[in-house]
């Protein structure tokens, strides 16, 4: 049984779905591995490194024509054309953005797993690509803010005078937000954080940050540990209360997302106008409209004297570690899918395991994923 690793075709993507480390592990399971020529180049993994790990180097068509195809992003129609009936593909599928991907995969007879659908249970933590990539994104977002901000993060006392510590506000205390808090604290900043879920207060404070607390009249805690959309009245009150707080910030790292919905507006134009010249907003929700209406996706712009960063793929800026984490997640998932009997590797019944059953979006020529209304 062969595993194929094609080059990611999405513009700006530098990650790869397998590393030499995970190729060795896949080989130890009894699987053969074919890596497309230069698939790891963007992540600084050479063909020679893959070859030494036991992989065959080949072309795109052979990689996509493998029994199991591992990818970062959902396959494009031109890639699906090269997949074979009965094959399996594992990737993030972007299910919040409806298109023909699932129907095309089903039409080809490809069994597809959407990694963002892996349930958040203890046994699945080692396969949680959303958490592993969000950790990297939260870290890299703070570094981007530090690059854009023209001052020190920590308090500095020198013979030429002293500099006050930077005031950082982090909006959203999910995986990315908590990592952003920890990174900003390590750099010496004064950090405050806000989240609509009151239960994250302890986590925020344990990292040395101040918890910004408002009485909105309702909780924003949703299913599976995610935030839910607030009522219109609560959203309006939240914006009003946040505006005065955000005007005091030197840097805002905004991470607030609601699954499959536009990002909530937390940073109003009024708040931006009240920030001092040279302040920075890193809007990690830029891909879904932004937590600030002034953000422009994949651009860094200056408005009202404030620098707004709208990078939408922070993990791609740290491709080696991002690929290493992602590839380990995928390997752990593959171990659930296969078994070895009398020296032969075969697929298990996907529906017998909660993890594989929950993330299986096409199966035996049919689309299983049902969009939540």
Asked whether the beta carbons of 251 and 167 are under 8 A apart, the reply is yes
Task: Note the pLDDT of residue 142.
Answer: 98
| pLDDT tens digits for range 222-249 | 555 555 566 777 777 777 888 989 999 9
Residue 129 falls inside a structural domain: no
Among residues 255, 261, 226, the alpha carbon closest in space to that of 120 is found at: 226
Catalytic residue among 66, 91, 128, 323: 128
Task: Note the pLDDT of residue 373.
Answer: 45
Q: Does the pTM of the predicted model rise above 0.95? A: no
Same domain for 332 and 218: no
How far is it, in rounded angstroms, from Cα 94 to Cα 129?
13
Catalytic residue among 226, 229, 270, 321: 226
Catalytic residue among 27, 47, 131, 228: 131
| CATH at residue 76 | 3.40.50.720
Asked whether the beta carbons of 179 and 193 are under 8 A apart, the reply is no
Task: Note the pLDDT of residue 292.
Answer: 97
Residue where one domain finishes, among candidates 284, 299, 317: 317
Same domain for 204 and 181: yes
Residue 164 falls inside a structural domain: yes
What's the domain count of the chain? 2
Range of the domain at 236: 137-317
Same domain for 141 and 249: yes
Question: In this structure, what DSSP letter does residue 55 have?
Answer: P
Among residues 252, 109, 274, 246, the alpha carbon closest in space to that of 180 is found at: 252
| pLDDT tens digits for range 288-301 | 999 999 999 999 99
Residue 188 falls inside a structural domain: yes
Residue 368 falls inside a structural domain: no
Give Cβ neighbours of residue 279 (< 8 Å, ≥ 6 apart): 149, 249, 250, 251, 252, 305, 306, 307
Helix (H) or strand (E) holding 77: helix 77-80
Same domain for 264 and 197: yes
Catalytic residue among 120, 123, 147, 261: 120
Run means of pLDDT, 10 residues per run, the chain, 373 residues: 97 97 97 98 98 98 98 97 97 90 97 96 96 98 97 89 93 96 97 91 96 73 57 76 92 92 93 97 97 97 98 98 98 95 88 96 93 54
Dmax over CA atoms of the chain, in Å, equals 74
Alpha carbon distance, N-terminus to C-terminus of the chain = 38
Same domain for 204 and 57: no
Catalytic residue among 52, 103, 125, 206: 125
Task: Note the pLDDT of residue 227.
Answer: 57
Residue 62 falls inside a structural domain: yes
Residue 63 falls inside a structural domain: yes
Same domain for 158 and 290: yes
Same domain for 341 and 303: no
How far is it, in rounded angstroms, from Cα 308 to Cα 141?
12
Same domain for 180 and 277: yes
Same domain for 329 and 243: no
179 is catalytic: no
Same domain for 301 and 181: yes
226 is catalytic: yes
How far is it, in rounded angstroms, from Cα 31 to Cα 26?
6
62 is catalytic: no
Same domain for 160 and 195: yes
Residue 246 falls inside a structural domain: yes
Task: Note the pLDDT of residue 258.
Answer: 84
How far is it, in rounded angstroms, from Cα 90 to Cα 303?
41
**How far are the Cα atoms of 148, 248, 267, 274, 347 from residue 280, in angstroms, in the given order?**
7, 12, 12, 12, 50
Asked whether the beta carbons of 102 and 78 are under 8 A apart, the reply is no
67 is catalytic: no
Residue 78 falls inside a structural domain: yes
134 is catalytic: no
Same domain for 212 and 103: no
Give Cβ neighbours of residue 231 (< 8 Å, ≥ 6 apart): 218
């Amino acid at each position: 049984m062969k595993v194929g690793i094609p080059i990611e075709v999405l513009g700006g993507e530098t990650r790869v779905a397998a590393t030499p480390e995970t190729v060795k592990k896949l080989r130890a399971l009894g699987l053969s591995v074919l890596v497309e020529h230069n698939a790891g180049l963007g992540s600084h993994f050479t063909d020679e490194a893959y070859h030494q790990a036991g992989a065959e180097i080949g072309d795109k068509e052979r990689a996509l024509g493998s029994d199991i195809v591992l990818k970062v992003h959902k396959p494009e129609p031109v890639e699906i054309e090269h997949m074979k009936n009965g094959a399996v593909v594992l990737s993030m599928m972007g299910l919040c953005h409806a298109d023909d991907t699932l129907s095309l995969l089903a039409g080809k007879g490809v069994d597809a797993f959407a990694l963002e659908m892996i349930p958040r249970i203890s046994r699945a933590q080692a396969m949680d690509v959303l958490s592993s990539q969000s950790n990297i994104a939260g870290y890299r977002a703070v570094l981007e803010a530090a690059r854009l901000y023209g001052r020190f993060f920590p308090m500095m006392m020198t013979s030429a005078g002293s500099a006050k510590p930077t005031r950082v506000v982090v909006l959203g205390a999910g995986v990315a937000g908590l990592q952003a808090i920890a990174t900003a604290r390590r750099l010496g900043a004064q950090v405050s954080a806000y989240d609509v879920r009151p239960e994250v207060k302890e986590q925020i404070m344990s990292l040395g940050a101040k918890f910004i607390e408002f009485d909105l009249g309702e909780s924003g805690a949703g299913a599976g540990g995610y935030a839910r959309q607030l009522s219109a009245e609560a959203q309006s009150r939240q914006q009003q209360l946040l505006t005065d707080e955000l005007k005091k910030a030197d840097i805002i790292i905004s991470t607030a997302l609601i699954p499959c919905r536009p990002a909530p507006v937390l940073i109003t134009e009024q708040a931006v106008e009240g920030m001092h010249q040279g302040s920075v907003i890193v809007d990690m929700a830029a891909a879904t409209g932004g937590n600030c209406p002034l953000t422009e996706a994949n651009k860094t712009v200056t408005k009202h004297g404030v620098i707004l960063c709208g990078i939408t793929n922070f993990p791609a800026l740290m491709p080696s570690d991002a690929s290493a984490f992602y590839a380990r997640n995928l390997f752990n998932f593959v171990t659930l899918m296969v078994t070895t009997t009398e020296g032969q590797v075969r697929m298990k019944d996907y529906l017998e395991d909660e993890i594989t059953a929950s993330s299986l979006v096409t199966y035996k020529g049919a689309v299983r994923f049902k969009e939540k209304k």
